[in-house]
Amino acid sequence: MVRRGADNLDALIAERIDGPYALFFVTPEGEEFPDGAESESGMAIDQAGRIFSFWTAWDAERGEATLETWEQTEAEPFWSGIAEYRQARAAVGLREPSST
């Protein structure tokens, strides 16, 4: 599935993470932007294992999507059992999380 606005999202995250990163738990949030993209929330992980939660919004003044929320967070223990999280870790060169 190709997300409309995926290039925008990648550009916004690349401004905040220097180097490889992977997205996981990305969910459309139901608000369509004027450029046709939809608001999204989700997580990004970098090659150091730092995790950031994000939520996109429309910046009417600039006429473009922006990251309304960008917060560093910790992995939840149960994520180690979710394939999407494990795949994101692998995509940035991190080993499998330990199951606890």
| For residue 53, pLDDT beyond 90 | yes
Residue type, 84: E
> What is the band of 3 on the pLDDT scale with cuts at 50, 70, 90?
very low
Question: Which residue type, as a one-letter code, is found at position 67?
Answer: L
User: What b/e string do you get for 42-78 counting C-beta neighbours within 10 Å, with b at 16 or more?
Assistant: bbbbbbeeebbebbbebeeeeeebebeebeeeeeeee
Q: Where are the domains of the chain?
A: 6-91
Amino acid 64: pLDDT: 86
Q: pTM, whole model, 2 decimals?
A: 0.85
pLDDT in the model for residue 92? 97
- Give the per-residue pLDDT at 38: 87
Q: Which of 22, 17, 60, 58 is nearest to 42 (CA)?
A: 22
> Which residue, 99, 95, 98, 88, is CA-closest to 17?
88
Check: CB of residue 71 under 8 Å from CB of residue 52. Answer: yes
- Residue with token string 């996981």: 24
pLDDT in tens, 71-95: 999 999 999 999 999 999 999 999 8
Which whole number is the average pLDDT over 19-28?
Answer: 95
pLDDT at residue 82 in the model: 96
Residue 6 confidence (pLDDT) above 70: no
Asked if residue 7 has pLDDT above 80, the reply is no
